[in-house]
Chain A
């Protein structure tokens, strides 16, 4: 069993500890709901050091990743990050990952913890023919996600970065003492936010450096109503945003077309692994597709529950739970395409009962009020009783790359 490098610090704060993908992680500190709401309304910090992190380097690294991943990698500018899928020959998803182009010939890749060995093996297997090196730095680095509408001023204040220059799905690299930090404007919550990867020099203690940075974020964050968050809120936030999780909405047996991740598959590329299978599936049509479900009847849909229409099972819930914003059960499901009709009703088999649900789009929340592209101007209360806005920055909306 592995553990997050800072697990003892989290235990000392009274975290409820659980395991995820073979790692000991904090499930919650205060509770899933308050932590979830902190990210939607102010800012939350997650330790996501369990995720696999690799350097991929070499003059043909771009060409290799362009062939192994579905998004355009070769044409990425330095300083850009891209969400991509890595497919098997059949078009099934080996993993979803984020690729950062650090310089012309150096890429940083972040993948799911559960797929770390598989992706490392897959990259290494192709690396020799491209003359590319692959280095796993997962256990020599720490990664924090700082997410929520108050994350830009918190990052700006703590790391002294002019945050307006780091646009959505862009990153900057800075020195902090004897560590290099990749500060990327990315996340897994639906909110504006950052992911910070700490790569200390070998002489520096990883735990000490990261704990010190985290404490600095938490203490600067008091002005921004920061909360330290666990994996419970991470899951409920990504579900509410309609973001996929490997092993649930995506897997080796589910294609990006079925998961409705078309945006991240660039068919115009000459070739990538899985392309032919996807083209074939695209021509033949899909038999099942990912949908969002909003419960109309009371009840909470959970993974594995059947979706029924009359006597027939027409799908399965892939992830489900309670939405703290909507105060209702929500889910994502893979459903027979003939029944995957927006605004139509289906039933979720919850124990003995058929509970009515509506097929909806994600994100599940009102995007005028919540999420990265919310239209309201956000402001930060500094804790003063008057509650007057102390800090207000015009929110820009950036197109996804």
Chain B
């Protein structure tokens, strides 16, 4: 059984994104669990800067050797920054999902609801694993 890293300083979504806020902007990415499930990410479709998104809408797409996964925005807002390094090195998602594998920064229009604490997210993973 794999172990999954869940840093205690981040917030999480039910759809396996992480988010951290800095002055009302949310830097987001996908979790260790998500990258391990996807395996070998070979392409990242990044949003355009200025794109407006609602919480729960697709903001980026990850493609691995075998699967395609949407990355959902945890907040309503506008994309203000993207991690261009992923264009040439999509494997950063696998190597460093919480660091160099960040996906984009969204300037939030309102406080996000329903974000999970690390403890709640860990419980969600445990439930998903027990199902499979």
Residues in chain A within 8 A of chain B (CB atoms) = 16, 27-28, 31-33, 232, 236, 298-300, 302, 321-322, 329, 351
Contacts and interface: CB of A to CB of B under 8 A. Distances in A.
A16 B67 CA distance: 14
Contacts of B40: 31-33
Given A232-B66, A298-B87, A302-B68, A322 B61 contact: no
B61 A351 contact: yes
Contacts of A28: 39
8 contacts: A27-B66, A33-B42, A33-B65, A232-B65, A299-B43, A299-B45, A321-B65, A351-B61
B63 interface: yes
Nearest to A353: B45
Contacts, number: 33
Nearest to B63: A300
Interface string B64-86: 01101000000000000000000
Given A32-B40, A300-B42, A236 B87 contact: no
A31 B45 contact: no
Q: Which 4 residue pairs are nearest across A and B when measured between Cβ atoms?
A: A32-B65, A322-B42, A300-B63, A300-B43
B45 A322 contact: no
Provide the main secondary structure of the chain A interface: mixed
A236 B43 contact: no
Nearest to A329: B43
Contacts of A27: 66
A322 B87 contact: no
Contacts of B63: 300, 322
Contacts of A16: 39
Contacts of B42: 33, 300, 322
Contacts of B43: 298-300, 322, 329
B66 A32 contact: yes
Given A32-B40, A298-B43, A236 B61 contact: no
A16 B63 CA distance: 18
B129 to A, nearest CB: 15
Contacts of B61: 351
A33 B43 CA distance: 13
A302 B65 CA distance: 11
A236 B87 CA distance: 21
> What range describes how many residues of B lie at the interface?
10 to 19
B8 to A, nearest CB: 29
Contacts of A321: 65
Given A232-B65, A351-B45, 9 more contacts: A16-B39, A32-B40, A32-B65, A33-B40, A298-B43, A298-B45, A299-B45, A322-B42, A322-B65
A28 B39 CA distance: 10
A167 B89 CA distance: 41
Given A31-B39, A33-B40, A236 B45 contact: no
A322 B39 CA distance: 13
Contacts of A322: 42-43, 63, 65
Nearest to A32: B65
Contacts of A232: 65-66
A356 to B, nearest CB: 15
A31 B63 CA distance: 15
Residue of B39, B43, B65, B87 ringed by the most chain A CB atoms within 10 A: B65
Nearest to A327: B42
B42 to A, nearest CB: 4
B128 to A, nearest CB: 16
A7 B45 CA distance: 36
A321 B40 CA distance: 13
A331 B92 CA distance: 25
A298 B63 CA distance: 12
Contacts of B66: 27, 32, 232
Contacts of B39: 16, 28, 31-32
A27 B40 CA distance: 13
Contacts of B68: 302
Nearest to A322: B42
Contacts of A351: 45, 61
Nearest to A321: B65
Contacts of B65: 31-33, 232, 236, 321-322
A31 B45 CA distance: 22
A299 B65 CA distance: 12
B54 to A, nearest CB: 17
Contacts of A302: 68
A299 B62 CA distance: 10
A300 B45 CA distance: 10
Interface string B89-118: 000000000000000000000000000000
A16 B45 CA distance: 26
Contacts of A31: 39-40, 65
A159 B87 CA distance: 46
A300 B68 CA distance: 10
Contacts of A298: 43, 45, 87
